[in-house]
Amino acid sequence: MDRKDLTRIDDYTWEIPQSFREGMRVPIRILANEELVDDIITGEAIEQAVQTAHLPGLVGHLVVMPDVYSGQGAPVGIVAASKYPAGAIAPGAIGHDINTGVRLLGSSIKRADADDLMDELADKLHEFIPCGVDAEGSLQLSKSEIDHVAQSGAQWALRKDMAKQDDLVRAEEGGRLNEANPSKVSETARALGAQQLGTLGGGEHFIEISYVDEVFNRAAAITMGLKEGRLTAQIHCGSRGYGRQVCADYIERFQDVADKYDAHPPNPNLAFVPLDASEAEDYMGAMRAAANYAYANRQVLAHRVREAFDEVIEGGGDSLRTVYDVAHNLGQVEMHEVEGKHMRCYVHRKGAARAFGPGTPGISLPYRALGQPVIVPGSMGETSWVMLATRDAMSKSFGSACHGAGRTMSRHEASYQGEAILDDQLENRGVRVRSGDTSTSGGVQLKENIDAVVDTVSGAGLAGKVARLKPLAVVHG
């Protein structure tokens, strides 16, 4: 694809018309600045976006985020809104790592006071947090306990003294989706979940200590508890094998019933069924269960980070306060205005965060008047940004923004890349690294386009800058 296939809407928006290929249900809107657009349209993710635009019942336009990259079925970095309940639902447009996301914690600890302690802090984080694909957790729960986790999300951790009330108040959806249905989750998934709660996983998943480098919106930063020169902690992870298995199980099941619904996607990983099919309801219940597992997992990891801080800094754990916790891979029923009409939609977000503008119902109370926080972590060891959603996000991207933590290569390409160079790259940037089994991160390469991504998100009017964070230490799988 090249630029002649695109219509330029404005400085940050490019459209691929519905006529680009027969079978597309909506046009595609790529959100990207001059610097990013050519890479996006020449990469392999864009063909996946074209295929995703075939999903029946899509409304408005398929949104492609500036940090998009190649995924399975749908690319990572898209928003696809389907009319509810007349449209379709596709697990591949939500992703295998259901509710992968980010928890950001702020603190009152001055960077200058912690400089000499950073190596010890990195050691303790690594000691307290099991990493890698095969990491088994410190919790070792029964399958029936995992059903409680899947039902209650981060609230389960509150009952187990691994959360503060304020953690939940400042998490998206209070850290728990309603109408989760663990009985629709396979035995295989439940068994994996029982072993893995409280583990970080591999690939792009990481825990990072950073500091607030610069504040751009002082009032918002105060509400968020972010102050220049103070330490922060970020936890980027998801639902581990539990969510992966839920996605795989339902893609297979949807493929099996394709004939019944005359549902034939351009790619088997984009298997779909009508939203009002019983199989769709089962998937939604299982997917919400996996989302709650991920909310609980980030909460348990936040607890472990607090324990690690306590070992090194007096009162360190207690000073870590949740700023926000946001999901990147989720499907939700929401009201949106499309071509002048209010309608109920099923919004698939894959590699995209919800970003509701100021005053929108559903935003956590401390932030409802300001707009939903948008955490853009960059790759591990990269600059991160904290932003606030603005009103334009509702019309431009179904109330969504980028997810930030991207790859330069698809997983498929990365699998050919051989030995890990990631840790050397990180060390060269002066970031302390502690890693587990690097076999899963061997192909992870650091992106350096985070500032262009953030320029696009703010230029397109999805979110405004609040603060920039700089990395000090990373723990990854």
Whose structure tokens read 């607090």? 306
Check if the beta carbon of residue 272 is closer than 8 Å to that of residue 89.
yes
Interatomic CA distance for residues 162 and 422, integer angstroms: 32
Q: Is 265 annotated as a binding residue?
A: no
Check if the beta carbon of residue 292 is closer than 8 Å to that of residue 189.
no
Q: Is 443 annotated as a binding residue?
A: no
Interatomic CA distance for residues 296 and 327, integer angstroms: 12
- Closest to DNA by CB, 94 or 224: 94
Other Cβ atoms less than 10 A from the Cβ of 89: the count is 30
SS3 of 192-221: HHHHHCCCCCCCCCEEEEEEEEEECCHHHH
- Closest to DNA by CB, 108 or 445: 445
Interatomic CA distance for residues 297 and 239, integer angstroms: 7
At closest approach, how far in Å is the CB of 443 from DNA?
9
Interatomic CA distance for residues 309 and 107, integer angstroms: 11
At closest approach, how far in Å is the CB of 114 from DNA?
28
Q: Is 264 annotated as a binding residue?
A: no
At closest approach, how far in Å is the CB of 291 from DNA?
15
| Paired sense of beta strands 432-435 and 463-476, if any | parallel
Structure tokens that stand for 126 in this block: 């690594």
By annotation, the residues acting in catalysis are 403
- Closest to DNA by CB, 246 or 363: 246
Interatomic CA distance for residues 1 and 5, integer angstroms: 7
Instruction: State the DSSP code for 268.
Output: G
Interatomic CA distance for residues 159 and 172, integer angstroms: 19
- Closest to DNA by CB, 16 or 76: 76
Residues that bind DNA (CB under 7 A): 72, 96-97, 100, 133-134, 188, 191-192, 196, 201-205, 238, 240-241, 244-245, 405, 407, 411-412, 415, 439-440, 444, 477
At closest approach, how far in Å is the CB of 208 from DNA?
14
- Closest to DNA by CB, 82 or 239: 239
Structure tokens that stand for 102 in this block: 């980010």
| Distance separating the N- and C-terminal Cα atoms of the chain | 36
Check if the beta carbon of residue 438 is closer than 8 Å to that of residue 389.
no
At closest approach, how far in Å is the CB of 402 from DNA?
14
Structure tokens that stand for 195 in this block: 């072993």
Q: Is 384 annotated as a binding residue?
A: yes
Q: Is 126 annotated as a binding residue?
A: no
Q: Is 329 annotated as a binding residue?
A: yes
At closest approach, how far in Å is the CB of 150 from DNA?
15
- Closest to DNA by CB, 304 or 465: 304
Residues β-bridged to residue 214: 468
Interatomic CA distance for residues 364 and 174, integer angstroms: 7
Interatomic CA distance for residues 474 and 177, integer angstroms: 30
Question: For the purposes of burial, counting CB atoms within 10 Å of the CB of 424, is it exposed (0-12), middle (13-18) or buried (19 or more)?
Answer: exposed
At closest approach, how far in Å is the CB of 151 from DNA?
21
Check if the beta carbon of residue 366 is closer than 8 Å to that of residue 169.
yes
Q: Is 174 annotated as a binding residue?
A: no
| Paired sense of beta strands 273-274 and 230-237, if any | unpaired
- Closest to DNA by CB, 201 or 399: 201
Instruction: State the DSSP code for 106.
Output: E
Scored b (16 or more CB within 10 A) or e, 349-384 reads bbbbbbbbbeebeebbebbeebbbbbbbbbbbbbbb
Q: Is 325 annotated as a binding residue?
A: no
385's CB contacts (< 8 A; 6+ apart) are 375, 376, 378, 404, 450, 454, 465, 466, 467, 468, 469
Q: Is 404 annotated as a binding residue?
A: yes
Q: Is 97 annotated as a binding residue?
A: yes
Residues β-bridged to residue 210: 232, 471
- Closest to DNA by CB, 131 or 386: 131
Q: Is 406 annotated as a binding residue?
A: yes
At closest approach, how far in Å is the CB of 268 from DNA?
10
Binding-site positions = 97, 205, 236, 328-329, 377-380, 384, 403-406
Question: What residues form the annotated binding site for GMP?
Answer: 328-329, 377-380, 384, 403-406
Known binding positions for Mn(2+): 97, 205, 236, 328
